[in-house]
Structure 1
């Protein structure tokens, strides 16, 4: 179905579908296996123990790759639009891309260094992914407003800015409450020490994660008018 979408729209569409499936499948398997409590675990908690750990790592790695591909294509789109309209500095577009790619690297660290095995690297990757992601979607919202109304409708701009604002608001208590938790564990029970910090932080984490998904969902229409080509040339002097 995604392959028949016009232009390059299949790229952000696949990112949205794949990432949503990665979160939901890992959560369902972890809950059914009794590895986490069903009431708002951390996203990483649902990918810590086998068999869901393998599925989580595999799917998040692909999500990171699809995210990087989506961001790069978005960069090329904005670059072409800016060449004809001159609505912003090209450096702003490049900065947004670099920050977005940092977030994808963070996702890779989260996928490959599990929460209980290497907590410092895992937590650092998660922090990099969420903070870079929030900054990226905020910059993309600003870029959208600068290119409005020629390249984006006001409705799209306000939707993107709303999602970015919610994510920015949610990421602050997510980090603050997580820093107050005194122990690293996945089997949280309501009423125990630090549970309220875990609960608030986990709700905010899921909010930010699906905020990213909804944001990339708004890219689909923009990508419909883009054609991707791969050109192969063989140099005559190469033997």
Structure 2
């Protein structure tokens, strides 16, 4: 059996491949059509104008859905594990899922409300996505630490903590430099107002985004340890039983 078909590992594998493809494809199209400069544009800048806007919106929406699926399955897994070994509180598990779901909602807002159309809504979506996504990483790192050595290895736990720190450290200058740049233009070149802040914010944004992907990469080995079964219950049968 292929390694990515063991257990439920196909879920995080699909999420990682699809998300990276969404970033790369829209970036290449935007650069080749000269809609954005090749030197570190904002991720959402690569999905502002057609034709890349259509591809970016579609792929990011699917990425958000896949991300929510992976987070929910992880939530159910932790819920099942804590029934046997109650080392984490159900509230912590639920809070992590809520933060992740809000981050996915932010991704959908970014994908469907371009900055050139509704900038305020777009910025709210981006802020929601990165802040809630970073909180999700932090909470899942705490959960992994609490579950040592029952379910996670020290290596996986340490890697998740490192990624959550990187995401947190990068998210702060990303937000600060974005507001300091004070330039809403998509195509900026050296010498333009706020160019330095723009590049610094964009670099941090890409760093945070790939921290998310690398974090989900650590789920693959874990998702190989279980499978998901769907049980269908007809309403008529349940009524007869009652």
Could you say whether these structures have the same fold, taking a TM-score greater than 0.5 normalized by the shorter chain as the test?
yes
Distance of 1:213 and 1:143 partners within structure 2: 18
Q: What RMSD in Å do the two structures reach over aligned CA positions? A: 1.4
The residue number in structure 2 matching 1:8 is 8
**In structure 2, distance between residues paired with 1:191 and 1:4:** 47
**Is 1:2–1:14's contact at 8 Å kept on the other side of the alignment?**
no
* Residue in structure 2 matched with residue 144 of structure 1 by the alignment: 144
1:27 aligns with 2:24: no
Shift of the alpha carbon at 1:236?
2.9
Equivalent-residue separation in structure 1 for 2:189 and 2:204 (angstroms): 18
CA contact (8 A) 1:110 1:126 kept: yes
Question: Which stretch of the first structure deviates more once superposed, 3-12 or 26-35?
Answer: 3-12
Cross-structure match for 2:79: 79
Secondary structure at the counterpart of residue 231 of structure 1? coil
Q: 1:95-119 CA distances to partner (integer Å, 9 max, x unpaired)?
A: 0000110000000000100110111
Tell me whether 1:47 sits opposite 2:47 in the alignment.
Answer: yes
Structure 1 residue 5, shift from structure 2 partner: 1.3
Conserved 8 A contact 1:2-1:10: no
Aligned positions of 1:1-239 closer than 5 A: 5-236=5-236
Per-residue deviation, 1:4: 5.5
TM-score w.r.t. length of structure 1 = 0.97
Q: Distance in 2 between matches of 1:14 and 1:83?
A: 29
Q: 1:2 to 1:43 in 2, by over 3 A?
A: farther
Contact kept in structure 2, 1:9 and 1:220, CA below 8 Å: yes
Change (3 A) 1:2 1:119: farther
Shift of the alpha carbon at 1:150? 1.2
Report the count of equivalent residues. 238
Report SS of the residue matched to 1:87.
coil
3-state SS of paired residue (2:37): coil
- SS of equivalent to 1:203: helix
Deviation of 1:234 after TM superposition, in Å, equals 1.9
Report the CA distance shift for 1:204/1:76 in structure 2 as closer, same or farther (over 3 A): same
SS at match of 1:131: helix
Q: CA deviation at 1:31?
A: 0.3
Secondary structure at 2:212's aligned position in 1?
helix
